[in-house]
Amino acid sequence: MSEIDPLGPDVAGPDPLGPDPRLAIVLDVDDLELACLMAKAVRPWMGVAKVGIELFATAGPDAVRAMIDLGFEVFVDLKFHDIPTTVGRAAAAVGRIGGRWLTIHTAGGVTMLRAGVEGLAEGSGGTAEVLGVTILTSERDRSPNVLAERVAAARDAGCGGVVCSAADLTVVRNTAPRLARVVPGIRLAGTSPDDQAWPATPEAAIAAGASMLVIGRTVTADVQSYAGVQSHADVQSYADVQSHKAGSEQLEQALARMAERARLLAAAIRSLRPQETPGSS
Residue 3 has pLDDT above 80, yes or no: no
Name all domains of the chain by residue range, CATH numbers in brackets: 20-230+241-268 (3.20.20.70)
Predicted local distance difference test score (pLDDT) of residue 240: 47
Residue 1 has pLDDT above 60, yes or no: no
- For the ranges 39-48, 75-84, 128-137, 184-193, which has the lowest average pLDDT? 184-193
pLDDT averaged over every residue in the chain: 85
Q: What is the dihedral angle through the alpha carbons of 263, 268, 271, 274, rounded to the nearest 10 degrees?
A: -70
Secondary structure of the chain in HEC code, one letter for each residue: CCCCCCCCCCCCCCCCCCCEEEEEEECCCCCHHHHHHHHHHHCCCEEEEEEEHHHHHHHCHHHHHHHHHCCCEEEEEEEECCCHHHHHHHHHHHHHHCCCEEEEEHHHCHHHHHHHHHHHHHHHCCCCEEEEECCCCCCCCCCHHHHHHHHHHHHHHCCCEEECCHHHHHHHHHHCCCCEEEECCECCCCCCCCCCCCCECHHHHHHCCCCEEEECHHHHHHHHHHCCCCCCCCCCCCHHHCCCCCCCHHHHHHHHHHHHHHHHHHHHHHCCCCCCCCCCC
Residue 7 has pLDDT above 50, yes or no: no
pLDDT band at 12 (very low <50, low <70, confident <90, very high): very low
Predicted local distance difference test score (pLDDT) of residue 246: 45
Phi and psi of 101, rounded to 5°? Answer: -135, 150
Q: Kindly report, residue by residue over 196-216, the tens digit of the pLDDT.
A: 556 688 999 999 999 999 999
Cβ–Cβ under 8 Å, residues 45 and 261? no
Q: At what angle do helices 249-270 and 32-42 cross, to 10 degrees?
A: 40
Q: pLDDT higher for 4 or 35?
A: 35
Predicted local distance difference test score (pLDDT) of residue 191: 55
Q: Percent of the chain, pLDDT > 90?
A: 64
- For the ranges 68-72, 175-179, 221-225, which has the lowest average pLDDT? 221-225
**What residues are labeled active site?**
79
Residue (of 191, 254, 240) closest to 30 by Cα position: 240
pLDDT band at 104 (very low <50, low <70, confident <90, very high): very high
Residue 230 has pLDDT above 50, yes or no: no
Q: What angle do CA 162, 165, 166 make, to 5 degrees?
A: 110
Predicted local distance difference test score (pLDDT) of residue 37: 96
Predicted local distance difference test score (pLDDT) of residue 190: 59
pLDDT band at 9 (very low <50, low <70, confident <90, very high): very low
Residue 260 has pLDDT above 90, yes or no: yes
